[in-house]
């Protein structure tokens, strides 16, 4: 039964959209998973997709899957580059990982227009400007 399953609550894990480089012509953005725990996480699987409306039409991006064997404590791992054109869409990242034999998973959702300068923070571990969800 569902009530017999462990809750395995995700804590001290974040997904961040960070500004990597900026020039007059363009900005380069990357998405990271950040392990803020004091222990490593293993077999990290991230699926990403974007969806929403653009110019009155329903838009969906491809679903991408990323596997990261290990993320050390207080470290990060690059998931993917992200195009500024998708910031007007809902960007969803579904994260699963193991600590020992226990599996954890959580969905992180960046709502449309949430990656804007007024929401920027200095992202821990990366020490770069961007938006982070814990």
Tell me the per-residue pLDDT of 51-88, one tens digit each, with 9 for 90 and over: 999 888 999 999 999 999 999 999 999 999 999 999 99
C-beta separation of 40 from 71 below 8 A: yes
Instruction: Classify residue 3: in a domain, yes or no.
Output: no
Q: Indicate yes or no: pTM above 0.75.
A: yes
8-state DSSP, 74: T
At residue 4, the pLDDT reads: 62
Q: How far apart are the first and last CA of the chain?
A: 29
Q: State how far the alpha carbon of 54 is from the alpha carbons of 48, 60, 89, in Å.
A: 19, 10, 8
CA distance 108 to 62: 17
Residue with tokens 């690059």: 78
- DSSP per residue over 35-68, as a string? E-SSS-EEEEEEEEEEEEEETTEEEEPPPEEEEE
Please check whether residue 4 lies inside any domain of the structure: no
- The domain in which residue 27 lies consists of 11-133
Q: How do residues 11-54 score in pLDDT, each as one tens digit? A: 999 999 999 998 888 899 999 999 999 999 999 999 999 999 98
Can you tell me the mean pLDDT for 112-128? 95
Give the CATH number of the domain where residue 40 resides. 2.60.40
Alpha-carbon gap, residue 5 to 2, rounded angstroms: 6
Does residue 72 belong to any structural domain of this protein? yes
């Amino acid at each position: 039964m569902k009530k017999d399953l462990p809750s395995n609550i995700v804590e001290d894990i974040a997904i961040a959209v960070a500004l990597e480089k900026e020039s007059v012509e363009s900005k380069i953005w990357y998405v990271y998973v950040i392990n803020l725990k004091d222990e490593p996480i293993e077999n990290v699987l991230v699926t990403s997709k974007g969806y929403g409306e653009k110019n009155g039409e329903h838009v969906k991006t491809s679903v991408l899957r990323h596997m990261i064997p290990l993320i050390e404590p207080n470290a990060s791992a690059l998931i993917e580059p992200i195009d500024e054109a998708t910031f007007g869409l809902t960007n969803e990242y579904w994260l699963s990982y193991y600590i020992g034999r226990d599996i954890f998973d959580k969905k992180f959702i960046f709502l449309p227009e949430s990656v804007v300068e007024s929401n920027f923070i200095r992202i821990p571990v990366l020490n770069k400007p961007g938006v982070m969800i814990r």
